[in-house]
Amino acid sequence: MAMSEDYHLMWKNLGLDLEAHDALLGVLGPAYQDIYLAQKNRPEGMGYFDFVMSEVHGLRIKELLDEKAAGRKIIGSYCVFVPEEIVLAAGATLVGLCAGADFATDEVEKLLPRNTCALIKSTFGFKLGKVCPYLESADMVVGENTCDGKKKAYETFKGLVDNLYVMDLPQMKSEQGRVLLQSEYYRFKSAVEELTGVAITTDSLKEAIKTVNAKRAAIHRLSVLRQADPAPISGLDALLANQVFFYDNPARFTASVEKICDELEARVAEGNGAFPKKTPRILVSGCPQAVPNWKLPLIVETSGAVIVGEESCVGERGARNLTDDSGKTVEEMMEAIVERYYQVDCAIFTPNQDRLAHIEEMATKYKADGVIHYGLQFCQPYLMESIPVEKALEQQNIPTLRIETDYSMEDMGQLKTRIEAFIEQLR
Q: Which residues bind its own copies (CB under 8 A)?
A: 110-113, 115-116, 145, 147-149, 151-156, 166, 168-169, 171-172, 174, 176-177, 179-180, 183-184, 347-348, 350-352, 377-378, 380-381, 383-388, 404
User: For residues 229 and 385, which CB has a smaller minimum distance to its own copies in the complex?
Assistant: 385
Closest CA to 257 of 27, 30, 45: 45
CA distance 192 to 330: 15
Closest CB 183 distance from its own copies, rounded Å: 6
A 10 A CB-CB count for 388 gives 13
CA distance 19 to 6: 14
Closest CB 384 distance from its own copies, rounded Å: 4
Closest CB 17 distance from its own copies, rounded Å: 23
User: For residues 29 and 177, which CB has a smaller minimum distance to its own copies in the complex?
Assistant: 177
User: For residues 99 and 169, which CB has a smaller minimum distance to its own copies in the complex?
Assistant: 169
User: For residues 116 and 242, which CB has a smaller minimum distance to its own copies in the complex?
Assistant: 116
56 DSSP 8-state letter: T
HSE value, Cβ hemisphere, 13 Å, CA-based, for 280 = 23
CA distance 327 to 98: 34
Closest CB 171 distance from its own copies, rounded Å: 5
- Three-state DSSP state, 242: helix
User: For residues 186 and 207, which CB has a smaller minimum distance to its own copies in the complex?
Assistant: 186
CA distance 216 to 341: 13
Q: Do residues 75 and 93 make contact, with C-beta atoms less than 8 angstroms apart?
A: yes
Per DSSP bridges, beta strands 400-405 and 370-376 are parallel
- Three-state DSSP state, 285: strand
Q: Do residues 301 and 307 make contact, with C-beta atoms less than 8 angstroms apart?
A: yes
Closest CB 168 distance from its own copies, rounded Å: 5
User: For residues 17 and 109, which CB has a smaller minimum distance to its own copies in the complex?
Assistant: 109
What are the angstrom distances between the C-alpha of 114 and each of 94, 303, 316, 377? 30, 31, 30, 11
Closest CB 309 distance from its own copies, rounded Å: 24
User: For residues 167 and 306, which CB has a smaller minimum distance to its own copies in the complex?
Assistant: 167
Q: Do residues 184 and 311 make contact, with C-beta atoms less than 8 angstroms apart?
A: no
What single string gives the DSSP state of each residue in 73-91? -EEEESSTTS-HHHHHHTT
User: For residues 184 and 237, which CB has a smaller minimum distance to its own copies in the complex?
Assistant: 184
**Burial tier of 409 (Cβ tally within 10 Å: 0-12, 13-18, 19+):** exposed
Closest CB 44 distance from its own copies, rounded Å: 43
CA dihedral 225, 228, 229, 233 (to 10 degrees): 0
Closest CB 110 distance from its own copies, rounded Å: 8
User: For residues 177 and 304, which CB has a smaller minimum distance to its own copies in the complex?
Assistant: 177
247 DSSP 8-state letter: T
Closest CB 79 distance from its own copies, rounded Å: 14
